[in-house]
Amino acid sequence: MRIPFRFVALLGALIASVAIAQESYRPPAGMVPTEETAVAIAVAVFKPIYGADRIDSERPFRASLKSGVWHVNGSLPPGAIGGTAEAEIAQQDGRVLRVWHGQ
């Protein structure tokens, strides 16, 4: 059985156009351009892991950007002993690189 050349060419063009269509827009400042966005992503990841009550008790969360990675951590009341949930999030694509809870 011979497959017509036109069919193969059309199929190749279709596959190429689908691959191009799947490319995602990347904002110049990355998918996570602000501290607010980094904190929102981190909290969304923290709550299923550590529980909403615990995470809410560690607010406010802050984020700092260094070398394209947001470091997010919570706050403890003055005099409290222990740690808070922490995460590292890639600025360019929003990948959660690490999650842990300080002691």
Residue 20 lies in a domain: no
**Domain containing residue 92:** 35-101
In residues, how long is the chain? 103
Residue 15 lies in a domain: no
Query: Whole-prediction pTM value?
Result: 0.77
Residue 25 has what pLDDT? 84
Here the contacts of 99-102 (C-beta below 8 Å, separation 24 or greater) are: 99/42, 99/45, 99/46, 99/49, 101/50, 102/73
- The tens digit of pLDDT for each residue in 20-69 reads 556 778 899 999 999 999 999 999 999 999 999 999 999 999 999 999 99
Residue 87 has what pLDDT? 98
- The tens digit of pLDDT for each residue in 61-97 reads 999 999 999 999 999 988 888 899 999 999 999 999 9
Backbone phi, psi, residue 8, to 5°: -65, -45
Residue 17 lies in a domain: no
Match 């690189």 to its residue by tokens.
97
Residue 23 has what pLDDT? 74
Residue 30 has what pLDDT? 95
Residue 65 lies in a domain: yes
Residue 64 lies in a domain: yes
Residue 66 lies in a domain: yes
Number of domains in the chain: 1
